[in-house]
Structure 1
Amino acid sequence: MLRYLITLQAKDREGLVEQIAHAVSRHGGNWLDSELRHIDGIFAAILLLEVPAAHWDELIESLELLEGISLTYAKSTKPQAKNKHVSYSLVAYDRPGLVHEISNKISALGINIEHMSTRYESASHTGIALFRADFNVSMKDSLDEERLTQALHSIGDDVVLDNLSA
C-alpha cells in the first residue's frame, strides 16, 4: 500500500464527498485522515489515503473525472517524530498580517504548526472584528510551551491564548 496526501477543490455541491469516498473505496483505498471544508462556495479537502500501488493511477483518473475537481497529490510516509503535541485557541482583534505574526513567532521558536483553523467573527456585545485561531503544534520539549505563550502574548495586549491541552 502506498500513502498519498491528496488535495481537492471544486465548486461545492451536494454529494461531492460521497463521490470522492466512492472512488477511493472502489479502488481499494483506505481513507486514513482528512480535513473537509466549505469556504465561500468552494469545497476544499485534504485527504491522507493508503492505496494499493496497482490501483493508484486508476484512482487519480476517477477523481479527475469528477466535475470541476482540481487536485494535487504527493507521496507520503508515516511520521517518525516523538514530539509533544499541544492545542491552543487564540483570539485577538482582527487586523491585516495577524496570521503572519502568529506563524512567524511559532516558526522562530522551531515549533511546527500541524493544524490551524482560523475564522473571522464579530464580538457579540460590541461588534468589534475578532480573529480566532485554533491550532495544534508539535514541540520538542515542555520549555517550548512557556516560550510560545510569551511569544504569542507579545503580539499585543488584545491576544487571549488558551492552552487546550492542559
Structure 2
Amino acid sequence: MLRYLVTLQATDREGLVEQIAHAVSHHGGNWLDSELRHIDGIFAAILLLEVPSAHWDELIETLESLEGVALTFAKTKKVADKVTHLSYSLVAYDRPGLVHEISNKISALGINIEHMSTRYESASHTGIALFRAEFNVGLKDASHEDKLTEALHAIGDDVVLDNLTV
C-alpha cells in the first residue's frame, strides 16, 4: 500500500464527495484523513489516501475524469516524530496581514503549524470585523509553549488566545 496526499478542486455540486469516495473505494483505497471545504462556490479537498500500488494509476485516471476536477498528488510516508501537539483558538480584530503576523511569530520559534482554519465574522453585538483562527502546532521542544503564548499575545491587545489542548 502506498500513501498519497491528494488535493482536489472543483466547482461545488451535490454528490461530489460521494463520487470521490466511490472512486477511492472502487480502487481498493483507504481514506485515512481529509479536510473538505466549500468556499465561495468552490469545493476544495485535501485527502490522505492509502492505495494498493497496482491501482494507483487507475484511481488517478478516475479522479481526473470527474467533471471539472483539478488535482495534484504527492507520495508520502508516515514519520514518527517526538512532538508535543497543541491546539489553539485565536480571535482578534480583523486587519490585513494578521495571518502573516501569526505565522511569523510561530515560525520564529521553530514551531510547525500542522493545521489552521480561519474565518472572517462580525461581532454579534457591535458588528466589528473579527478574525478567528483555530490551529494546531507541533513543538519539538515543549518548553516553547509559554514563548508561543507570549509571542501571539504580543500581536496586539485585541488578541484573545485559548489553549484548547486537553
Q: TM-score range by the shorter chain?
A: over 0.9
**1:150 maps to which residue?**
150
Q: CA deviation at 1:115?
A: 0.3
C-alpha distance in 1 between matches for 2:160 and 2:116:
16
C-alpha distance in 1 between matches for 2:54 and 2:150:
50
Task: Give yes or no for the alignment of 1:24 onto 2:16.
Answer: no
Structural RMSD (CA): 0.6
Q: Sequence identity of aligned pairs in percent?
A: 83
Task: Give yes or no for the alignment of 1:86 onto 2:111.
Answer: no
**1:128 maps to which residue?**
128
User: Could you state the TM-score of these two structures normalised by the residue count of structure 2?
Assistant: 0.99
**2:5 maps to which residue?**
5
**1:111 maps to which residue?**
111
- Name which of structure 1's ranges 74-83 and 60-69 shifts more when overlaid on structure 2: 74-83
Q: CA deviation at 1:142?
A: 2.5
Task: Classify the secondary structure of the residue corresponding to 2:21.
Answer: helix
Task: Classify the secondary structure of the residue corresponding to 2:10.
Answer: strand
- Name which of structure 1's ranges 93-102 and 141-150 shifts more when overlaid on structure 2: 141-150
C-alpha distance in 2 between matches for 1:82 and 1:62:
37
**2:100 maps to which residue?**
100
C-alpha distance in 2 between matches for 1:161 and 1:79:
30
Task: Classify the secondary structure of the residue corresponding to 2:4.
Answer: strand
Task: Classify the secondary structure of the residue corresponding to 1:138.
Answer: strand
Task: Classify the secondary structure of the residue corresponding to 1:95.
Answer: coil
User: Could you state the TM-score of these two structures normalised by the residue count of structure 1?
Assistant: 0.99
Q: CA deviation at 1:141?
A: 2.7
Q: Which runs of 5+ in 1 are unaligned?
A: none
Once the two structures are superposed, residues 55-108 of structure 1 have per-residue CA deviations (whole angstroms, 9 ceiling, x without a partner) of 000000000000000000000000221100000000000000000000000000
C-alpha distance in 2 between matches for 1:29 and 1:165:
32
**1:43 maps to which residue?**
43
Task: Report the residue type matching 1:12 in the other structure.
Answer: D
C-alpha distance in 2 between matches for 1:79 and 1:120:
34
C-alpha distance in 1 between matches for 2:53 and 2:143:
43
C-alpha distance in 2 between matches for 1:160 and 1:50:
39
C-alpha distance in 1 between matches for 2:79 and 2:69:
29
C-alpha distance in 1 between matches for 2:142 and 2:161:
17
